[in-house]
Structure 1
Amino acid sequence: MPKIEIQSFFYDLIHCKDKILSTFDKWDEVYDEDERGPLVAGIQECKEADLINLLLNIQRLASGYEQIHELMNAAEQEQVDALIEETEKEDDGDDDDEWAD
């Protein structure tokens, strides 16, 4: 598995995730018996500022996921490039032995 360095925005993502989950947990407690369901009731009854904050946290989390995905792709490409380079060096070394005879 490719390795990536820990980035400062990882901690922001954890904070966003915690804020989102705490909001959902609060809605589960408050609107557990609501016929609309906790999520729908929570969204409909939420103050506009709180809903905007929730949506911003969800957007930040999604954006952070994309950044992590890009970092993982770059790390995988580095591994592939290193393996190709290593294979080419081995092949070059083998070619020299064939012509030595």
Structure 2
Amino acid sequence: MPKIEIQSFFYDLIHCKNKILSVFEKWDKKYDEDERGALVAGIRDCPDAELITLLVNIQKLATGYEQIKELVDKAEQEQVDEAFVEGDPDDEDF
């Protein structure tokens, strides 16, 4: 497994995730019996400012995921490069 350093934005992602989940939990409680379903009812009845905040947090989470993916890809490539450089001396005969 490649190792990556903890980045400061990781904590922002945790904060965004918690905010998103708290909104969904609130909707689950408030719209539990709604025939539209909690998510649809919550989105439809949500004030614009709160919905925008939710969408911004979802966008930040998606961007953070992409940043983490880039870090992991870079770490994996470094492992491959190291393995290639350190290669088996017997392989040099070919």
Aligned length: 93
Higher Cα radius of gyration: 1
Superposition CA RMSD, Å? 1.4
Deviations 1:46-84 (A, max 9, x none): 000000000000000000000000000000000000000
Alignment of 1:1-101 (within 5 A): 1-87=1-87, 90-91=89-90
Where in structure 1 are there 5+ consecutive unaligned residues? Answer: 96-101
Structure 1 counterpart SS, 2:4: coil
Partner Cα distance (1:60, 1:50) in 2: 15
Amino acid in the other structure paired with 1:52:
I
Task: Give the TM-score taking structure 2 as reference length.
Answer: 0.94
Task: Give the TM-score taking structure 1 as reference length.
Answer: 0.88
- Where in structure 1 do 4 or more consecutive aligned residues deviate above 4 Å? none
Q: Calculate percent identity across the aligned residue pairs.
A: 71
